[in-house]
Amino acid sequence: MTKLNIWITKHQNKITASIAILIALSLLSGFVLKIETAATVFMIIASILGAIPVALHAFSALQNKVISIELLVTIAVIGAFIIGEYEESAVVTFLFLFGNYLEQKTLEKTRSSVKSLTKMAPTTAELVDEDGKTETVDVDDLDEGDHVLVKPGGQIPVDGKIIDGTGYMNEASITGESTPVKKGIGDKVFAGSLTDNGTITVETTSVGEDTTFGKIIELVEEAQDSQSPAARFIDKFATYYTPAVLIIGILVWAITRDFPLAITVLVLGCPGALVIGAPVSNVAGIGNGAKNGILMKGGNAVNSFSHVDTLVLDKTGTLTTGKMSVTDVDNFGDKEKNLALLAAVEKTSDHPLGQAIVKYATDQNVTATPTLPELDTVKGQGLVGQNDNFKILVGNERLMKANDVQISAEQKQAITKRMNDGDSVVLMAIDQELQLVVGVNDQLRPDAREGLQALKDAGLKRIVMLTGDNKVAAQRVADRLPIDEVHAELLPEDKVTFVKKFQEQGSTVAFVGDGINDSPSLATADIGIGMGTGTDVAIETADIILVKSSFDALAHAYVLAKKTVANTKENIFIAVGTVALLLLGLIVGVIHMGSGMFVHEISILVVIFNAMRLIKNKSSKLDSNQVLNPAN
């Protein structure tokens, strides 16, 4: 039976075409040639041929203790065959199989985003050996640390950093943004990106499935296969609905003794459009997001995000670019020695503040020395380093106070000045004596204001900024944006407390952060959104990942989630409405088995095409006919 099932499934399209030919021959024989016997024989053969694949699918479902749509159709077709309605049975099986064919083809289009991503995955690379010679190898044969040459117009095969050359990179496959980005030595590049011009050499950090591009493909595939709450409810509903239709059909026959009416009820009650309506919307919405650098982890994430009314954001690297620069340095000792020590500590950190300080030291021709064998991170405060000669503290005032560092009036004045200028302040102390006060600042993201306003226009009620930075710097950023609340000088656990507080107030909360320091808040919020990092922590912790660091992408994701949920509701309405109209048509005598199956298959295509509208959606604004209450 298994081999027969496989063969039937493999050749189902050919069987469907054969049934169409047989029905055409029957109509030709009956209406044109007036050979009634031949017409009947062709219809009988078509009925049997069509019933076989439908019945086999029904039997397979029964083996799994599932009463399927195929079972309803099989019983109806057999019933029509028994009472001599060969035309009805042939037409019903043909429409059912042809409908399945169209359904598969249109569903393939909703998954086109994953297919296009998969086709874009690099397969070969130009490996550079120690002598500088290149060799074409499979991407799977590359290891971390290998050097890869990428020529103009070539595809970057690995995640890595540029160690030689410069060029413009098209990262549309990663970020959804087709505008080329200039990159040079030290910059990160992603597998799947294209070099518009310039030759670069890349040191490999990740290969294949471990690259950001590979993880994007995996995430989108998993997300499209996951179910939304509506889809799970409908699946559960269908397990009761389909047997109920079968029982109703039996009752109709038992009460009326009208066998044709009973089998017509089975056909009209098929819940095909209802079963497929929610999943196809989910697949289309997630596919749209993937094309635009928005990774939504399944139907749950889409549904939850559509109901968010409170957005909580980190400041550094989220509202701001994260590309920081040192604005000023107040020194209270040997400046060059102090700066070398500070750079030695910060060079181990991935935090934007630390990277800015290391760059500043390099620009000042200061070498980061000495290497510190012991470095500990104190969450929300900074770093503590130790060697045989001294203990070094690098962080904020809380770290200094916790370690009994005395701050003089002059030093306090320097700190206050930096804070009043809106800088983030980094302090360095050696053996409990404050040596450096460093002011670091970065720029507001250019699309932050417009993106946040678009979110509010789409129905978001409250935007809150939570940051570990000082109050003055935080307020300076908030004053330029449509932000409702600001809470500064917070530890990571304080941010979690605020998120829980908002949830206790009845809000549905989304948290946007970098996925590293903010991972507890990302996990606590109803929806965690990792913005622009592509890091493992963001991918694992966040429910939605914005590969492109863009508030336009955030607004697009929010509106897309709302439209996807609205589209799901539309599809459910279409499906239920179709069944109701068919049953009404049956009662008044204008719908029969063949015409009922035709309308049923049309309704399936309607919900699929309705969902496909989501694939091409580009607007970050809701349509006028899609006004949703975010609280619902």
Where in the sequence numbering do the catalytic residues fall? 314
Alpha-carbon distances of 481 from 382, 447, 485, rounded to whole Å? 28, 10, 11
Asked if residues 355 and 347 have their Cβ atoms less than 8 Å apart, the reply is no
The one-letter amino acid at 392: I
The one-letter amino acid at 315: K
- Which among 522, 554, 536 is positioned nearest to 212, based on CA atoms? 536
Alpha-carbon distances of 56 from 6, 7, 78, 273, rounded to whole Å? 10, 11, 13, 21
CA angle, residues 91, 96, 102, in degrees to nearest 5: 120
Asked if residues 477 and 487 have their Cβ atoms less than 8 Å apart, the reply is no
- At residue 190, the 3 state secondary structure works out as coil
- Eight-state DSSP code of residue 319: I
Asked if residues 195 and 168 have their Cβ atoms less than 8 Å apart, the reply is yes
Query: How far, in Å, CA of 56 to CA of 7, rounded?
Result: 11
How far does CA 485 lie from the centroid of its chain? 28
CA angle, residues 71, 74, 77, in degrees to nearest 5: 150
Asked if residues 43 and 24 have their Cβ atoms less than 8 Å apart, the reply is no
Residues whose CB is less than 8 angstroms from the CB of residue 97 and which lie 6 or more positions away in sequence, other chains included: 12, 15, 16, 19, 50, 53, 54
- Eight-state DSSP code of residue 147: E
How far does CA 243 lie from the centroid of its chain? 36
Residues 93-118 as b/e (b if ≥16 CB within 10 A, e otherwise) read bbbbbbbbeebeebbeebbebbeebe
Count, residues in the chain: 632
The one-letter amino acid at 129: D
- At residue 216, the 3 state secondary structure works out as helix
Strand order in the sheet with 181-183: 181-183, 167-170, 194-197
First to last CA, the chain: 48
Query: How far, in Å, CA of 350 to CA of 383, rounded?
Result: 12
CA angle, residues 605, 609, 615, in degrees to nearest 5: 150
Backbone phi, psi, residue 77, to 5° = -65, -45
- At residue 292, the 3 state secondary structure works out as coil
Alpha-carbon distances of 515 from 447, 540, 542, rounded to whole Å? 21, 9, 7
Strand order in the sheet with 485-487: 294-296, 544-546, 527-531, 509-513, 310-313, 462-466, 485-487
Residues whose CB is less than 8 angstroms from the CB of residue 264 and which lie 6 or more positions away in sequence, other chains included: 76, 586, 591, 592, 593, 596
Q: Beta strand pairing status for 485-487 and 527-531?
A: unpaired
